[in-house]
Structure 1
Amino acid sequence: MTHVVCGSEIIQIIRDLVNIPSPSGNAGKAIQYVETYLKELGIKTKRNNKGGLLATIPGKDDTKHRFLTAHVDTLGAMVKEIKSDGRLRLTKIGGFPWNMVEGEYCQIETASGKTYTGTILIHQTSTHVYRDAGKAERSDENIEVRIDEKVTSKEETEALGIQVGDFVSFDPGFVTTDSGFVKSRHLDDKASVAILLHVIKILKERGMTLPYTTHFLISNNEEIGFGGNSNITPETVEYLAVDMGAIGDGQATDEYTVSICAKDASGPYHYGLRKHLVALAEKYQLNYKIDIYPYYASDASAAVRAGYDLIHGLIGPGIDASHAFERTHQESLCHTGDLIYYYLQSEILEA
Structure 2
Amino acid sequence: MTTYPNTEETIQLIQELVSIPSPSGYTDNVIQFVEDYLTKRDVDTYRNRKGGLIATLPGQDTTRHRMLTAHVDTLGAMVKEVKGNGRLKIALIGGFKFNSIEGEYCRIHTAGGHDITGTILMHQTSVHVYKDAGTAERNEDNMEIRVDARVENADDVRALGIEVGDFVSFDPRVETTDSGFIKSRHLDDKASVAILLQLIKRVQEENITLPYTTHFLISNNEEIGYGGNSNITPETVEYLAVDMGAMGDGQATDEYTVSICVKDASGPYHLGLRNHLVELARKNNIGYQLDIYPYYGSDASAAIRAGHDIVHGLVGPGIDSSHAFERTHEASLTNTEHLLYHYIQSEMV
Q: TM-score, normalised by structure 1?
A: 0.98
Task: Work out whether residues 3 and 338 of structure 1, in 8 Å CA contact, stay in contact via their aligned partners in 2.
Answer: no
Structure 1 equivalent of residue 330 of structure 2: 330
Q: How far, CA to CA, are the matches of 1:149 and 1:136 in structure 2?
A: 26
Deviation at 1:4, TM superposition (A): 3.2
- The aligned runs of 1:100-139 (5 Å cut-off) are 100-139=100-139
- SS, match of residue 199 in structure 2: helix
User: Is residue 2:80 matched to residue 1:80?
Assistant: yes
Q: Do the aligned residues in 2 keep the contact of 1:3 with 1:335 (CA within 8 Å)?
A: no
| Structure-1 separation of matches of 2:313 and 2:129 | 52
CA distance in 1, matches of 2:110, 2:56: 34
Residue of structure 2 in register with 1:195 after alignment: 195
Alpha-carbon distance between aligned partners in 2 of 1:276 and 1:3, rounded to the nearest angstrom: 26
Q: Partner residue of 1:252?
A: 252
SS of aligned partner of 1:200: helix
Q: Does 1:11 align with 2:11?
A: yes
Residue matched to 1:55: 55
Q: In the alignment, is the contact (CA less than 8 A) between 1:6 and 1:333 conserved in 2? A: no
Question: Once the two structures are superposed, what CA deviation does each residue of 1:218-253 show, in whole Å capped at 9, x if it has no partner?
Answer: 000000000000000000000000000010000000
SS at match of 2:42: coil
Name the residue aligned to 1:268.
268
Partner-residue secondary structure (3-state), 1:216: strand
- Please tell me the residue identity of whatever aligns with 1:78: M
The 2-side partners of 1:347 and 1:227 are apart by 27
Task: Specify the alignment match of 1:161 in structure 2.
Answer: 161
SS in 2 for 1:127: coil
Correspondence list, 1:243-322, <5 A: 243-322=243-322
CA distance in 1, matches of 2:291, 2:120: 34
Distance of 1:6 and 1:285 partners within structure 2: 18
Question: What is the alpha-carbon distance in structure 2 between the residues aligned to residue 306 and residue 5 of structure 1?
Answer: 34
AA matched with 2:204: K
Partner of 2:207: 207
Q: Deviations over 1:266-307 (max 9, x none)?
A: 000000000000000000000000000000000000000000
Kindly tell me the number of residue pairs found equivalent between the two proteins.
348
Partner deviation per Cα, 1:151-176 (whole Å, 9 max, x = no partner): 01000000000000000000000000
Q: Which residue of 2 aligns with 1:176?
A: 176
The DSSP-based 3-state class of the residue aligned with 2:279 is helix
The CA deviation string for residues 139-195 of structure 1, in whole angstroms up to 9 with x for no partner, is 100000000000010000000000000000000000000000000000000000000
Q: Is the 8 A contact 1:71 1:227 kept in 2?
A: yes
Aligned partner of residue 13 in structure 1, secondary structure: helix
CA distance in 2, matches of 1:3, 1:228: 31
Cα distance between partner residues in 2 of 1:239 and 1:5: 23
Are the counterparts in 2 of residues 68 and 216 from structure 1 also a CA contact under 8 Å?
A: yes
Q: Percent identity?
A: 68
Conservation of the 8 A alpha-carbon contact between 1:3 and 1:334: no
Partners of 1:105 and 1:241 in 2: CA distance: 31
* Counterpart residue number, 2:216: 216
What displacement does 1:112 show?
A: 1.1
> 1:6·1:337 contact (CA, 8 Å) conserved in 2?
no
Distance 1:3 1:292 in 2: 33
Q: Which segments of 5 or more consecutive residues in structure 2 lack a partner in the other structure?
A: none
8 A contact 1:188–1:244 mirrored in 2: yes
Alpha-carbon distance, 1:3 to partner: 7.5
Alpha-carbon distance between aligned partners in 1 of 2:308 and 2:276, rounded to the nearest angstrom: 21
Aligned with 2:302: secondary structure?
helix
Q: How far does residue 5 in structure 1 lie from its aligned partner after superposition?
A: 2.1
Q: CA RMSD in A?
A: 0.9
Amino acid at match of 2:26: N
Residue pair 2:243, 2:316 contacting (<8 A) in 1 also:
yes
- Equivalents in 1 of 2:224, 2:303: separation in Å? 14
Q: Which 4+ runs in 1 deviate beyond 4 A?
A: none
Cα deviation digits, residues 314-338 of structure 1 (max 9, x gap): 0000000000000000000000000
Which amino acid letter does the alignment assign opposite residue 207 of structure 1? N
Name structure 1 gaps, 5 residues minimum: none
Q: Does 1:69 align with 2:69?
A: yes
CA contact (8 A) 2:183 2:327 kept: yes
> Deviations for 1:202-227, whole angstroms, at most 9, x for unmatched residues?
11001111000000000000000000
3-state SS of 1:9 partner: helix
Q: 1:339 maps to which residue? A: 339
Quick check: 2:239–2:300 contact (8 Å CA) kept in 1? Answer: yes
